[in-house]
Amino acid sequence: EADIYQTPRYLVIGTGKKITLECSQTMGHDKMYWYQQDPGMELHLIHYSYGVNSTEKGDLSSESTVSRIRTEHFPLTLESARPSHTSQYLCASSPAGGHLIYEQYFGPGTRLTVT
């Protein structure tokens, strides 16, 4: 089993609030990712990181920001939540090398509802 954790699992928050979604992994993986997924829809990559102090935007434009100060931690922040941010947010990590170089391990997700 992959050791990647996300908190909170569920969050209901009002418009305009600042929120941080936490993601941690204990596998020592260099690469980490954030995806956004609406119910029944495909996953969209919104942020990724090659390693400490490295962050890049993904294919889907997002108003969120991320940081990577420690290898194991990749938090996602929304400065001012809006109803359009309502979605499921999935964090993943993958090792930098090895045979299965592109296998990603996913966390359980955070389901965010902005009212």
Residues that bind another protein (CB under 8 A): 31, 35, 41-43, 45, 48, 50, 58-59, 88, 90, 92, 100-109, 111
Strands in 4-7's sheet, in edge-to-edge order, are 4-7, 19-25, 76-78, 65-66
73: DSSP letter: B
Choose between 75 and 109: whose C-beta lies nearer to another protein. 109
Shortest Å, Cβ 43 to another protein? 4
Shortest Å, Cβ 109 to another protein? 6
The residue type of 10 is Y
10 and 114 Cβ atoms separated by less than 8 Å: no
84: DSSP letter: G
Choose between 18 and 50: whose C-beta lies nearer to another protein. 50
Shortest Å, Cβ 16 to another protein? 27
**Rg of the chain, C-alpha, whole Å:** 14
Choose between 17 and 44: whose C-beta lies nearer to another protein. 44
